[in-house]
Structure formats: structure tokens, C-alpha cells
Chains A and B, each alone.
Chain A
Amino acid sequence: MSKFAKKKKGLPAVNTAALPDIVFMLLFFFMVTTTMRETELVIKAPQLPNATEVKKLEHKSLVSTIYVGKAKDQVKFGSGDKIQLNDKIASVNDIASFIYSEQEKHNPEEVPYMTTSIKSDVKASVGTIHDIRMELRDINALKVSYSTRSGDIGLNTK
């Protein structure tokens, strides 16, 4: 019986050797699932409007984003609504070439599924949006998504 009695010798420390493995697993999960922000915003981060009837955009690679808002550097660019393509402020006429260069990155059979996401500030004017729309219509890029957050629509007009 003394053999069993011997074992009572204080609690052994918990083995933490597997802790790094667990943390690494978490790390890899985040590394794989997240994407780095690709474009640096030159305009002020747009405050997206709220909506309830939203649809998620699938296939992130097939989405080209156009930002609309006020420039951060208003002395240089002026105070009106600005359009940002890639990481530069551009004019409406540059949209066609921007969309074409986005389309060139994909197979021709994927092109009809490409969507243009317009991330515009609530306070932007419809005129700017309409100009973008006309430009997109001219080059037959007809799928458009007006980027919104899901939330209370009453906040849009305040």
C-alpha cells in the first residue's frame, strides 16, 4: 500500500507545451481569412448610408470599388465630391479605363459577373453618382452595388 501513498507529492504543473500550437493555429486562421486593406483612402472615409434591404457581395475578387466623398486634402483637391479609383483621386472620365483594367485581370467568361461597388458618403450628391452610372452604362458594366451598412434608414437624411 505504501506504493500508492507515495504518489501524493503536491500538484504537478499543467503542461503548457501545446499552448504555442493553439495560438499558432489561431494566428494562421486569422492570416488566411482576413485581407489586408489594399487601397489607402485619399478621400475622407465615407460614412456609408444605412439600409435594410441589403445583399452581400460574393466573390470579392470580382468586385471593383469606386469611392466617393470629400478629399482629405481639400486645399489641393478642392471641396466638392471626389471620386477615388485605386489610390488616386480621378475624374469621371477615368472610370472607363479603370473598369477595363479591372476586367483585364479576369477571364473573359467571368467579366459578366463583375460588380462595381460604389462606396459613397451619405452627404455626396446624386449628380456625382449619376455621372458614374452613365459612365458605367457606356462601357456596359451594368452590375452595380450601392454599398451600405445595415441599420436604421432614418439616420441617412440627418
Chain B
Amino acid sequence: MARRENSEINAGSMADIAFLLLIFFLVTTTMDVDSGISRKLSEKPPENYEPPIIKMKNILEINLNRNDEMLIEDEIKQIADVKQIAIDFLDNGGGIGKEVDGVAGTACAYCNGNKSEKSSDHPNKAIISVQSDRGTSYGMYITVQNQLLSAYTELRNRYAKNHLKGKYAGKSYDDLLLLSSNDKENKDLKAVIREVKEAYPQIISDAEPTK
């Protein structure tokens, strides 16, 4: 027998095999990032807990019925109105704020509202209460929550733009959040974000749904 020379293995189809594998993984895997409206639930109240008495003017009452219709302060409203109503309510600043860390509350210096006697005293006292029916659709509920959150974001953006000093002057709240997602350990940035959040704290309560 004649000795043949060791010929090289043909690797030409290796690429095809790798492509097949690649396409398999491309098709079977999902890359979706889970995103959503995040919310912190209130803690369970202790037994015999008596809720504090809150002035009616500091509560914005939103009712949703089982036909996905909406009442705000007993008037029929549409989804498009919610944001502006929430902004007017939160930004009213008609009185004196809540005591924070032992410092007595002051009037809201950064509010642009019309300081009406009949609306909220201060953003940190203003509560938005959403009461839905058990039959309200989840889509409607999320839509209302989304509009309320966008009202808060707009107010926070405005506050951040006009009232921040130093390194972050002129930045909006959205800009700050974006910066902080790239730079998680930055303590200054965190303090600034907290300041903006405390200017307009998110107080949205979910009332027990009606049956």
C-alpha cells in the first residue's frame, strides 16, 4: 500500500454548523427586560390601629367603577384630564407642610399653584387616593396610575430644573435618574435625587375596592 500524506481535515463546513447553533439560540432565547410601574405597598397596620384624621382638602379622591368610568372629587372626568388635575392638586401649596425630622413645616416655597384654600396644603401632605371596583379592568387601573406618576415626574422635573444648585444645576429629574443608573455609587447624586423626591413625595393610596 502506498503511504498517503496526511491531508488536512476540511473545516469549511464548521462555519455552517456554528451558524446553525447560533440561529437556534437566537430563536429560542428571549432578551426582554422586565419593566413596569414599581410601587411600594403600605405596611400592614397593627390591630386596633386608628387611622390619623386627614383633612378632606388634602385628599384627591379618584373613583373608578366597573365600567371603567372615572369620578374625580365626584365629577366625571376623562383620562386626559387626570394629569393636569393631579398637578394642580399637588402643586397648590395653600397652607403649611408637615413636620419633617423635628423641623416645623413651612409653606411651600417652590409651588406654582394658585394657593387655594380648598385644595392641598403642601405637596408632602397631599394624598391621592384611588378607589377602584373589583370589576374595574387592570388596564384602566394602570392607565390612571401611569397618569398620576407622570404628574409627579413633571413636578419633580420642574423642581430639579429650577431649584438645584451646584454641580447638578439645570438638570431635570429624568436626567438625574439617568445619571444615577450609570453611576450607582455616587452619594452626592443620591442625596440630590432624594431632595427632589422629598419635594414632591409620592403618596398614592389604594383604597379597598368596592364590590
Contacts and interface: CB of A to CB of B under 8 A. Distances in A.
Contact of A153 (B36, B44, B79, B153): B79
A9 B200 CA distance: 77
B22 A157 contact: no
A123 to B, nearest CB: 6
B150 to A, nearest CB: 5
Contact of A123 (B139, B146, B208): B139
Nearest to A158: B139
A121 B138 contact: yes
Contacts of A156: 137, 139-140, 142-143
Contact of A129 (B29, B43, B141): B141
Contacts of B9: none
Q: How large is the interface on B (under 10, 10 to 19, 20 to 34, 35 or more residues)?
A: 35 or more
B29 A55 contact: no
19 contacts: A23-B15, A27-B21, A27-B25, A34-B25, A52-B146, A52-B150, A57-B34, A57-B36, A57-B38, A118-B36, A125-B137, A126-B64, A126-B133, A137-B41, A137-B42, A142-B42, A146-B38, A147-B35, A148-B142
Interface of B: 11-12, 14-15, 18-19, 21-22, 25-26, 28-31, 33-44, 64, 68, 79, 132-143, 145-147, 149-150, 153, 206, 208-209
Interface of A: 16-17, 19-20, 23-24, 26-27, 30-31, 33-37, 49, 51-57, 60, 63, 65, 68, 115, 117-118, 120-127, 129-130, 133, 136-138, 140, 142-150, 153-154, 156-157
